[in-house]
Amino acid sequence: MKAEIITIGDELLIGQTVDTNSAWIGSELSKAGFDVTRSTSVHDKHKDIVTALNQISAKTDVILITGGLGPTSDDITKPALCEFFKTRLITSSKVLSRIENMISRRGFTMNDNNRRQADVPEACRVLENLIGTAPGMWFEKGGTIFISLPGVPPEMKYIMTEHVLPELNKRFKSQIIIHRNIMTFGSYEAKLAEILSDFEASLPQNIKLAYLPSMGVIKLRFTGTGSNRAALTELIDKQIVKLNKIIPDLIFAKEEEPLEKVTGRLLKENNLTLCTAESCTGGRIAQMITSVPGSSDYFKGSVIAYDNTIKIKLLGVSEEIIEKNGAVSEQVVRNMAEKARNLLDTDFSVATSGIAGPDGGTDEKPVGTVWIAVASEKETIAERFVFGNDRKINIERFSLTALNLLRKQIINKKMV
């Protein structure tokens, strides 16, 4: 079962609007068992719309079209559909009376633009839109279903949910597609692919693996296709058990979850508290942690010691240690973590000191260098990492690496 999406609107092509409709429709069709083979955005232009319709693969079962159904002059999807389906516009009295009701309820009077919204191609079946004025339309031609929906996201979602998805589910007893995401941190894509090459080769034919890297987090996505949901789920679960034996240290979540949420849950489940002492990350770790609802249960606060005077005066880091080793050093970052843990009275603390760039690097400590420490009652550990030259990416990677070190230390502590 194959599907394609066509989204219509100049605003998509000049980048003024990000096309979230395609992503939502793709996700829903994919859950319903369709393979979405292509998604195309075109101008609000008669010719471009007709060309896009003509270029659809003959094997496609369902085409979802959004946009260009509004009341203004730049909305020209309906005439284009009429040309493609060799039909003409007629007034739907049912749609017209619904629009009249809607307009009068809002205290407005009907104008020609409103009335035009009740004109639909004769060849279509109308899909009622109870939350807006533009109806959806269902066509069939040469074994393919064409569905045209308004581009306004809530209206599109309404018609999809109320009409389109239930009808497609009835019509297509479908192939089942299941996606599962495994979150990893601590390797990089090329390396991970090498580690997993035998595993990947051993996967059953109906299960595919994809690598989706972002800032050091690599999401491994399993996609399975089959006819029996329970059997397919079990088969994917088996692969995940195998995967977990190969890279237990790299996996931080077996569903799509950010590192800060996983780490927060570990803290909460173990009744542990956290603080941070951040230099180069400038508050990013604290901000990630506190982006999670309920983080006040385990996060007490931070000292952002950007300037050395704050490290010395507020945190109590030794001035000699800074002078002797430099602010970006194992000694300083250990000192920061330990002092912060005592000062803020928490079970764990995380400290960072590094060079985010673009300036401030030396041969010995190039831009992208960071020292990270995690302190607990049991021990303080510190590690050095070197990333790239981009300031924003460095801050992000420093922070994620710190969270991952913390996560590992919490797990270690539990096992003692």
Which residues between 74 and 93 bind its own copies (CB under 8 A)?
74
Q: Burial code of 252-270, b = ≥16 C-beta within 10 A, e = fewer? A: bbeeeebbbbbbbebbbee
Q: Scanning the structure block, which residue is given the tokens 């909460």? A: 268
Q: Encoding tokens for residue 123?
A: 């060849």
Minimum gap (Å) between residue 173 Cβ and its own copies:
21
Burial class for 390, CB neighbours closer than 10 Å (0-12, 13-18, 19+):
middle
Binding segment (CB under 8 A) for its own copies, from list 76-84, 235-243, 337-345, 375-383: 337-345
- DSSP calls for 198-215: HHHHTS-TTEEEEEEEET
Which 182-201 residues touch its own copies, going by CB under 8 A? 188-191, 193-194, 200
How many residues of this chain bind its own copies (CB under 8 A)?
119
Q: Are the C-beta atoms of residues 49 and 77 closer than 8 Å to each other?
A: yes
Q: Which of 46, 165, 172, 179 binds its own copies (CB under 8 A)?
A: 179
143 binds its own copies per the rule CB under 8 A: no
> What is the CA 359 to chain-centroid distance, rounded?
32
Q: What gap in Å lies between CA 334 and CA 330, rounded to an integer?
A: 6
- What residues between 345 and 374 interact with its own copies by CB under 8 A? 345, 356-359, 366, 368
- The nearer residue to its own copies, 87 or 199, going by C-beta atoms, is 199
To its own copies, the closest distance from the beta carbon of 50 in angstroms equals 13
Binding test (CB under 8 A) with its own copies, winner from 66, 117, 376, 401: 117
- For residue 151, give Cα distances in angstroms to 45, 85, 252, 397: 15, 21, 38, 37
Q: Which is nearer to its own copies, 191 or 229 (CB)?
A: 191
Nearer CB in complex with its own copies: 37/228: 37
Could you say which residues in the range 7-26 bind its own copies, by CB under 8 A? Answer: 10-20, 22-26
- Contact (CB, 8 A) for 338 and 377: no
Smallest separation, CB 409 to its own copies (Å): 21
The answer to whether the CB of 369 falls within 8 A of the CB of 361 is: yes
**Residue 393: partners with Cβ closer than 8 Å, 6 or more residues away:** 215, 387
Beta carbons within 8 Å of 102's beta carbon, 6+ residues apart:
133
* Residues between 207 and 266 that touch its own copies (CB under 8 A): 208-214, 221, 223
Cα distances (Å, whole numbers) of residue 49 to 80, 159, 209: 6, 21, 35
CA 63/CA 80 separation, integer angstroms: 15
60 binds its own copies (CB under 8 A): no
User: Rounded to the nearest whole angstrom, what is the least distance from the CB of residue 217 to its own copies in the complex?
Assistant: 12
Q: Per CB under 8 A, which of residues 372..401 are in contact with its own copies?
A: 385-393, 395
Q: Which is nearer to its own copies, 166 or 358 (CB)?
A: 358
In this chain, which stretch among 88-96, 102-110, 168-176, 246-254 interacts with its own copies, using CB under 8 A? 102-110
Considering only 30, 87, 174, 233, the residue that binds its own copies (CB under 8 A) is 30
Here the tokens at position 33 are: 């068992």
- 164 touches its own copies (CB under 8 A): no
Residues 301-330 interacting with its own copies (rule: CB under 8 A): 301-307, 309-310, 313-314
By CB under 8 A, the residues from 274 to 303 that bind its own copies are 276, 278, 281-287, 289-291, 293-296, 299-303
